Structure 1
Amino acid sequence: MPALTARHILLGVTGGIAAYKSPDLARRLREAGAEVRIAMTRAAKEFVRPLTFQAVSGKPVHCDLLDPAAEAAMGHIELARWAELVLVAPASANFMARLAHGHADDLLTTLCLATRARIVLAPAMNQAMWAHAATQANRAQLEARGVRLLGPDWGDQACGEVGPGRMLEPAAIVAGLSELYSPGALQGCTVMITAGPTREAIDPVRFISNRSSGKMGFELAAAAQKTGARVIVIAGPSGEFLAAGIERWDVETAQQMYETVMQHIEDCDIFIGAAAVADYRPATRSAEKIKKKETALTLRLVRNPDIVQAVAALDQGRPFTVGFAAETHRLKEHAEHKRCHKQLDMIAANWVGRPGLGFDSTSNALEVFWEGGHVSIAQATKAQVARHLIEIISERYHAQSSAAHSGS
């Protein structure tokens, strides 16, 4: 991992069972060429002793904010200045909450507030704690400030439950850090992503929509940004948050989404249509609330523009175009028909209406098809699935670009 050679990495360790992995992480960071110093919270010392970290790092371990020996030379400020990167692994739900709200009541939170270095968190907690609205709000707030998250992973947990919340394995964390200092696979590319549902008004209080939260599209945006791409998100109504640096345009209807996409599609290299766009809208919108009078109400619907097909049909500056297909049956057949009919470069299909997948879930699984190729992305958190899909899109985009250049 030459990208980490001679990097100054401050490894913060918070209280949680995943702290047992942190000595191995410190060792791997040193093997990758980094200089490593350790800061532990009081709770972390209940899981792993400081002497263990001193042995693997070769440096004294820092535990107390008000250490008379260290503070004689303003030790916490010296550490904050020394670090090029602050990595907190594991990062507990409590630590994320305190950091998000600007607390500086121990050494590690104080270091995070005092440093100008990059901050990276490797979350580790119970799956319900990770999914809780408070934790997700803290995550979004931290990411908006430029804090990067690696993980969490999906799988068995020490509490006996299964789901997202495991700390990434040390090797995966080291690889993720290396990517921060390496040119991304989509460096210099512009990626546009549509995300979330659309709402098609019936009257001032009612609309037609669907169960999409937009989470998959937003995770794709985060993954694309991490590869070095400029990212534009055209978002339907959604409570999801985007990291700083991602350009966002909010819309409500399919027509608005179509117009906004076409307004900004010029010079985009890759288009990913992850939004769950309504196929139809009411032909007319009542200016007043429709009163309940009859036993039945008939709505006449008209077709909405097909955004991904319109992008794929562009004559000039057509981007590499990726569609999505949410299916309840005959997934491969329907996805391949959609890909061919709309002349897409790639399509990502997922099952919906099944427990734990797609809508109303933090996890997903995809079947990805392109001309002459197919790959399955196994069930995992939507963040992990997004990273895998962006890798595949990047590979196919570059392969297609190379073939076009060699043939010209």
Structure 2
Amino acid sequence: MTAPTLDEVRAALARVDDPEIRKPVTELGMVDDVRVDPAGGVDVRLLLTVAGCPMKDTLTRDVTREVGALPGVTGVRVDLGVMSDEQRRGLREQLRGGQTEREVPFAKPGSLTRVYAVASGKGGVGKSSVTVNLAAAMAADGLRVGVVDADVYGFSVPRMLGVEHRPTQVDDMILPPVSHEVKVISIGMFVPNNQPVVWRGPMLHRALQQFLSDVFWGDLDVLLLDLPPGTGDIAISTAQLIPNAEILVVTTPQRAAAEVAERAGSISMQTHQQVVGVIENMSWLEQPDGSRMELFGAGGGQAVADSLTRSVGAAVPLLGQVPIDVTLREGGDSGTPVVLSHPDSPAAVALRGVARQLGRRARGLAGRSLGLTPTGR
């Protein structure tokens, strides 16, 4: 059997995506050299974006798999180098579409990304658990999904999604880790040894701005922001940086929690954002005999939805009720969301139902250019 041609090898390399950027290595200028000897041995020199790239083993494995599958290949050797400053600069500009200036892509009029800001009135209602499971469920359905852990003081998303390495930084651009097909960024990835974050408003605003503008998100279908509880600095900064973001309110059935959740949703009247709906978490505990024990009462989620409907003057639906489920907690601790580890469990079924409702919604026309040019009569 004859050795493959250079074109055949390059075609195989075009099937290898960079694990962080999610584009073929051939498009990113990462393939520096390819050589094929008459005996079928293939040498590939690949340029990493930065020295010590955490994905180098993955790249080596994927290149070996794709090239090694070609007829006539007897061996694959992958040599890893590092991009020069000029090459990194070119890559950065390519990824930003030729824009050298930092900007929030989701706030641009032409953005097709649906942005959901997941809010709650108080802590402990399971807002982060809901966020990561919605993200994982949407990604499993084939959507391109990103999560911003904007809960700077109480960050927990990296653990819940099983993120095991820090982001890769290409000069002033950050490549977010990908876990369960979800791109993730969190201040917890930059804080050593679980140290607390002690910041005031301006620093919080700047951190959120960097997460949105300096991180390379690519073409996302959905971006979820896990907001801190309440109506503080981050909620206000989100409205300023992404005015088209829609608010998703998480509450429990307990009346005391529901009253606080109403305030979190009512911020939309001041920020002029849309409230997309309410999710009630910890709705009940299913008993072995099929009955339900309502540990936190009943009706809180519907009460929040009804109150917000009256306040904002538009329909705010109760999107779903998530029962208490031990597998939901276990998934958060293990880093594998329950919608993936136990997709048929009661909590997973409820969360996947909400995810499909949100994932199917088309991006509205508000703030977008229609591409129309007025003409005279």
TM-based fold match above 0.5: no
TM-score normalized by the length of structure 2:
0.35
Structure of higher RCO (CA pairs closer than 8 Å, 6+ residues apart): 2
TM-score normalized by the length of structure 1:
0.33
